[in-house]
């Protein structure tokens, strides 16, 4: 019962964070590990837990998505699908010991990506890429997202800025579509492989969905800087905990 309460609370607040600023993985993954789920299965189950929220975002930005160039969208979607599958299969090939070793570094990287996301996007706005570089960038980011979901949204937004995109609504819409597609592939891959802890996943999906809905008014009311500070603090704390576990 204690573990169930921890997982429910973590998923609820992860849903809130994802709606307000992002960073929900900083709560769901450590909570599952705390509850005794092996690291690889915890990562897979965490991906399932936050999966439904991406669909809502994609639907909400459907007009902006429809305005995108179809050929470009098809290229990006294809690269995302391939990268997401490759990253998911890479996770399946990882042992719990190997994944436990890289987790602290992944959490730290995701935290830094979140903390400096605005600066990275500002820098990438000065650069322009296209053609094969567009496909390659989507592929590489998707491989990371299929392997470890943390910080994916920040990296996608930075990537879009690098492509020369400026409309934030269009960028958020495309981010939601690609995140949903990538997560759908990951969820299917993990489910077929049998590494998802479904009882925990179902409870967390419900709690994350409720938290996402509850986070909407908070997103309007809370100062963005304060929320970002909380997410960065949580990410840094979780990174420190997992580095401590690695060295202990």
Q: Report residue 8's pLDDT band, with 50, 70 and 90 as the boundaries.
A: very high
Q: CA-CA distance, 203 to 205, in Å (whole number)? A: 6
Average pLDDT over residues 43-56: 84
Of 11, 30, 6, give the one whose Cα is nearest residue 238. Answer: 30
- Confidence at residue 166, expressed as pLDDT on a 0 to 100 scale: 75
Interval 135-192: pLDDT, tens: 888 999 999 999 987 778 778 877 887 787 777 778 878 888 898 899 899 999 999 9
The confidence score (pLDDT) of residue 110 equals: 80
Comparing 155 with 49, which gets the higher pLDDT? 49
Query: Is pLDDT of 6 > 70?
Result: yes
If we measure between CA atoms, which residue out of 47, 46, 19 comes closest to residue 31? 46
- Looking at residue 121, its pLDDT comes to 62
Say how far apart CA 85 and CA 13 lie, in whole Å.
28
Domain definitions of the chain by residue range: 2-247
Q: How many CB atoms lie within 10 A of CB 234?
A: 20
Residue 168 has which token pair? 């934030």
- Burial class, 213, CB count within 10 angstroms (exposed 0-12 / middle 13-18 / buried 19+): middle
pLDDT at residue 194 is higher than 80: yes
Q: Which of 124, 159, 116 is nearest to 141 (CA)?
A: 159
Q: For 130, left (φ over 0), alpha (ψ -120 to 50), or beta?
A: beta
Specify the higher pLDDT residue, 216 or 11: 11
């Amino acid at each position: 019962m204690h573990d169930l309460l921890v997982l429910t609370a973590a998923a609820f607040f992860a849903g809130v964070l994802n709606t307000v600023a992002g960073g929900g993985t900083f709560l769901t993954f450590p909570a599952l590990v705390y509850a005794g789920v092996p690291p690889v299965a915890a990562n897979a189950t965490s991906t399932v837990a936050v999966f439904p929220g991406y669909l809502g975002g994609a639907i909400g930005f459907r007009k902006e998505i429809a305005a995108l160039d179809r050929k470009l969208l098809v290229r990006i979607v294809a690269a995302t699908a391939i990268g997401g599958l490759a990253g998911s299969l890479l996770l399946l090939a990882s042992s719990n010991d190997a994944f436990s070793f890289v987790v602290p570094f992944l959490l730290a990287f995701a935290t830094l990506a979140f903390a400096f996301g605005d600066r990275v996007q500002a820098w990438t706005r000065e650069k322009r890429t296209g053609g094969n570089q567009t496909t390659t960038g989507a592929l590489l980011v998707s491989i990371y997202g299929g392997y470890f979901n943390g910080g994916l949204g920040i990296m996608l937004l930075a990537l879009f800025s690098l492509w020369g995109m400026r409309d934030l609504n269009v960028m958020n819409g495309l981010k939601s579509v690609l995140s949903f597609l990538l997560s759908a592939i990951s969820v299917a891959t993990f489910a077929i492989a049998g590494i998802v802890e479904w009882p925990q996943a179902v409870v967390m999906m419900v709690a994350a969905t409720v938290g996402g809905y509850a986070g909407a008014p908070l997103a309007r009311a809370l100062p963005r800087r304060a929320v970002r500070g909380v997410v960065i603090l949580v990410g840094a704390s979780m990174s420190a905990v997992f580095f401590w576990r690695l060295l202990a």
